[in-house]
Structures are given as C-alpha cells and as structure tokens.
C-alpha cells in the first residue's frame, strides 16, 4: 500500500483538496521576509516551507562555482553563498515547483542535501475562549485537552491528551478527512449554521441513512454536533472551543436519528460511503450487538486501510461488556476501541471494559453535565439532548461517545504528520504511546484502561521519521 494521500480512493477528492490547500495558503497570506508560507508533502510528511527557496548542502570537495551551471539550468539564483559547512540557499522563479525541484537536485552527484527552506513556529496556544478561559468563558472548559487542575472541575494536572504540546508539531492537514458517523451537524435552511462548524471548505455534507429528510444531515439530537466539535472544531478562530485536529476536514454522515437510534444497515452504508468517498479516519460513537452486516462494513474498511474509532459503551457499572463495532478490535487491526476517563485520570464508572479495549480518553465524570464532563459544540437551535439548562451552541456531555473523537482526532494528526501510516500502525502508535495512569497498577495493559490514556503528543512525536512542524493554517 502507498501513502494515504496517493491511494486510489482519494482520487474523488483530489481536485477539491488541492483547491482547499491553495485557498488555505493564500487566504492566510503568512510570510517571512516577503516569502509566502506554503504547505506540502516532503519525504512522506506534511511540511510548511517558504515559496521559491531551496536549501542545499554540497558534497565534500564541491564548490559554489561547480554547481552554478546546474542551478542556472533551472533558472535558480544563489540567495546565500555557500558557507564553510557547504550550506547555501537558492532562489527560484515563481513558476518553479519547490518540492519537485528539491527532489531532483538531491539526486545530483554534486549535492549532498537539497530540501525546501522549511518553516518553524513558536509554541502554539489557540485563541478559542472556552479553551483559554477568556471572555465569555470564566474558566478553561476543555480539561481533556489541557488539564492544569483548574477549578472547576478541580481535576488532576496533566490528566489530558497533551493537546498544546502536539499542536506545536501539527494542527492537522486539510488533506486528511475524518468521517463522523453520527446524528449530523447543525444546519439551518440547508446551510452550516454553527459558528465553530460553518466552514464549507472544511465540512463535507454526506448522506442521511436514517431519516432521509429534505433538510439533509441536520442534527436534531445534538450528539453528532458534540462529537464533531471534539474531533475537529474550527480552531484558533477566536470563537468557542478548539478541536483536536483543527485543520482536518470532516465528512458528516448521518446514521442516528433525533432519538439517537440507528441500525446495522445504516452503519454499514455509512462506512462504505465514507471509505469510497475519501475518508481517512471513521469515528462511530455508538454501537450494540454484533452482526454479519456490521462486520461486513468493518471488513470493507479494513481491506481498504481505513481505521474505525469506536466507543466501548456506557452500560457499566452494571457489567456491560465492550459493544460492537468496538469489540471487533479483537479481530480487526483497523478498529480502535475507546473507553472513557474522568478529569482525575480515573476510568469513568459507566465506561464498558474488557479484553477488546484499546485505549481510554477523556470522556467525563458523567453525572450532572457540568465542568467535570466534556465541553463541546451543540446545535444553535433546540435539540433532543438539550435538557434543562443546557445552552445552545456549546455544552457539557459525557460518555465513551466523547472519548472516541479525541482518538479519531489524534489519528487525523498522525496521518497529517505521516500520511503513509496504515490503520494497524496508527493503532500500535496510539497503544504504545498511551500514558500508563495510576489505575493500571504499573501494568502495560488492563481490561479497565486498555493500553492507557491517550497521549496525542507522544503519538505524533514518536513517528519515524520524527514529525516536523506542519503549521497552523486553518483550512
């Protein structure tokens, strides 16, 4: 299998992706010394680099005069003379593809290294007010992303996924699509209506497999909206919350109705649609019993190298086992079964467990929908999960349903940093880099915590080759 970005299933979205990437770079107009910051794939990783510049290291014994004819043949000029370490910087005409020429030059026997002049960034702290705890928020709501022991909820410092740390490496890529199979997204008159979920270049509206209403994948329950915000809300936009993979795109597929009900058929159809239409990661925060219909969908995604992140269920402490499709993790390496932890890094009491459990992630305490639960987007109109006192636009919910999109977002970050990773590799990375929380008693795996609590930074930072900063342009 080749990298995800070059696989055949991606071809339906190639043109749209290129347009989105171009729009993202041009709309931000970020520059260094007058050179535009661009994004692209270099040696299997997404990078940011300066337009029209290539850094070169000459082979030992080669001097600047030796490479002048080669550079001139490509229309290049020397911007910085080659120094005592044989390093120099060349400048290219506007029409020249930096990445393509760098790859060509590095194969020349005169040249030891040729690479884009890549961009680095200072530490990133998104300006979303409910993440920051700035007005209109009065405290930092998203403890699952960055837990400092803030009050409320008074949790344990670092009982989080290390989001600020991973965002210094990548905020995700608009070439990566996370499919959310759930109850939909806020729509008014068919248009995206939520201030954190309203970018038409980011959110792809797929089919409705449960109600098939005239108004498309409108979320009348609120569950899908909450899940979507956790995974990939618009981030650093001065509004609302931050998403785990803020630069990733989202494919919205409706498989639950306003009552939260779906079918095995809807799951199957949703998975097949997502796979066939370019999804790189699938999130399914639901489940129930096994069936041949459900397993066929898992097999289909597995054969086409698409990971499925699924919640383990919320029926404990009554003894409920891991539900399906999450329980298919025992048989299919593309399935990641996700349980929930609270703000103190303790397994949430409702979170189903068993040998099939892969990893746990912040899902909330789960009692009263307050600050010890997970804060995310909700519809900007009445919805069935609204409940007494739940505000429009944003609110608290808890469950393994909230834990799963944290993991789906991290899978998106991994593929953004290295699009060549297979579902099995993504799962292994998440397992091997999870934090071994105290409740695991020093064990590498337990039926209550799986391989530990998700750590986004360690997952992305562990990539081989190590991930390079990929930038923070919101596509």
Catalytic residues: 182, 223, 401
Mind listing the pLDDT tens digit for each residue in 380-423? 999 999 865 556 899 999 999 999 999 999 999 999 999 999 99
Kindly write down the DSSP assignment for every residue of 126-142, as one continuous string. Answer: ---HHHHT-TT-SS---
Give yes or no for residue 46 having a pLDDT over 80. no
Q: Token match 């040696």: residue?
A: 43
pLDDT of residue 472: 38
The domain segmentation of the chain, as residue ranges, is 33-118, 129-461
Mind listing the pLDDT tens digit for each residue in 349-373? 999 999 999 999 999 998 678 899 9
Compute the radius of gyration of the chain from its Cα atoms. Answer: 23
Q: Which two tokens stand for residue 321?
A: 């086992």
Taking residues 427-446, report their average pLDDT. 97
Q: Which two tokens stand for residue 378?
A: 């909700």
Tell me which of 3.20.20.140, 3.10.129.10, 3.40.50.200, 3.40.50.720 is the CATH number of domain 129-461: 3.40.50.200
Give the confidence band of 318 by pLDDT, cuts at 50, 70, 90.
low
Q: Which two tokens stand for residue 447?
A: 């039926």
Give yes or no for residue 148 having a pLDDT over 50. yes
Q: Which CATH class is domain 33-118?
A: alpha beta
Query: What span, in angstroms and rounded, lies between the C-alpha atoms of 244 and 171?
Result: 8
Give yes or no for residue 134 having a pLDDT over 90. yes
For residues 421 and 441, the answer to whether their CB atoms sit within 8 Å is no
| Across 108-122, 261-275, 332-346, least confident range | 108-122
User: Which of 46-50, 415-419, 471-475 has the highest mean predicted lDDT (pLDDT)?
Assistant: 415-419
Query: What span, in angstroms and rounded, lies between the C-alpha atoms of 286 and 255?
Result: 10
CA distances from 4 to 284, 348, 421 (A): 21, 34, 8
Residue 87 host element (H or E): strand 87-91
Percent with pLDDT over 90 in the chain: 80
Give the confidence band of 7 by pLDDT, cuts at 50, 70, 90.
very low
Q: Token match 């120099």: residue?
A: 88
Query: What span, in angstroms and rounded, lies between the C-alpha atoms of 364 and 241?
Result: 17
Give yes or no for residue 82 having a pLDDT over 60. yes
Whole-number mean pLDDT of the chain?
Answer: 89
Mind listing the pLDDT tens digit for each residue in 123-132? 578 999 999 9
Question: Do the domains 129-461 and 33-118 match in fold?
Answer: no
3-state secondary structure of 18: helix
Q: Token match 């890529």: residue?
A: 173
pLDDT of residue 306: 98
| Across 16-20, 129-133, 152-156, 411-415, least confident range | 16-20
């Amino acid at each position: 299998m080749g990298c995800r970005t070059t696989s055949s299933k991606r071809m339906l979205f190639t043109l749209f992706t290129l347009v989105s990437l171009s729009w993202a770079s041009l709309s931000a107009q970020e520059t260094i010394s007058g050179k535009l910051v661009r994004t692209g794939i270099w040696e299997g990783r997404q990078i940011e680099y300066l337009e029209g510049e290539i850094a070169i290291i000459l082979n030992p014994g080669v001097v600047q005069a030796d490479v002048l004819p080669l550079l001139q043949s490509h229309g290049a000029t020397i911007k910085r003379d080659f120094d005592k370490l044989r390093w120099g910087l060349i400048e290219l005409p506007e029409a020249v593809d930096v990445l393509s020429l760098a790859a060509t030059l590095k194969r020349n026997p005169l040249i030891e290294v040729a690479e884009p002049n890549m961009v680095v960034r200072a530490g990133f702290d998104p300006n979303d007010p409910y993440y920051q705890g700035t007005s209109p928020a009065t405290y930092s709501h998203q403890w699952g992303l960055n837990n400092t022991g803030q009050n409320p909820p008074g949790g344990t410092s670092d009982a989080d996924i290390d989001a600020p740390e991973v965002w210094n490496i990548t905020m995700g890529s608009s070439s990566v699509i996370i499919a959310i199979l759930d109850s939909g997204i806020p729509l008014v008159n068919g248009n995206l209506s939520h201030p954190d979920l309203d970018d038409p270049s980011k959110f792809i509206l797929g089919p409705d497999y449960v109600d098939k209403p005239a108004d498309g994948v409108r979320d009348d329950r609120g569950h899908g909206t909450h899940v979507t915000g956790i995974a990939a809300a618009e981030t650093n936009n001065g509004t609302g919350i931050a998403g785990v993979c803020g630069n990733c795109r989202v494919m919205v597929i409706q498989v639950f109705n306003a009552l939260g009900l779906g079918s095995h058929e809807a799951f199957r159809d949703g998975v097949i649609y997502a796979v066939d239409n370019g999804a790189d990661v699938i999130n399914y925060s639901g489940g129930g019993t096994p069936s041949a219909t459900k397993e066929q969908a898992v097999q289909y995604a597995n054969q086409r190298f698409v990971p499925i992140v699924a919640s383990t269920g919320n029926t404990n402490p009554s003894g409920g086992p891991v539900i399906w499709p999450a329980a298919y993790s025992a048989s299919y390496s593309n399935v990641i079964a996700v349980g929930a932890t609270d703000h103190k890094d303790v397994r949430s009491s409702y979170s189903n467990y068993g040998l099939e459990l892969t990893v746990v992630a912040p899902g909330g305490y789960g009692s009263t929908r307050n600050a010890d639960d997970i804060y995310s987007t909700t519809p900007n109109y009445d919805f069935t999960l609204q409940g007494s006192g739940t505000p429009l636009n944003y609110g608290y919910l808890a469950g393994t349903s909230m834990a799963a999109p944290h993991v789906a977002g991290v899978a998106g970050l991994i593929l953004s940093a290295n699009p060549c990773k297979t579902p099995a590799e993504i799962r292994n990375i998440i397992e091997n880099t999870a934090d071994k929380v105290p409740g695991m008693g020093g064990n590498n795996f337990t039926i209550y915590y799986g391989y530990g609590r998700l750590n986004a930074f360690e997952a992305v930072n562990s990539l081989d080759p190590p991930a390079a900063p990929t930038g923070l342009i919101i596509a």
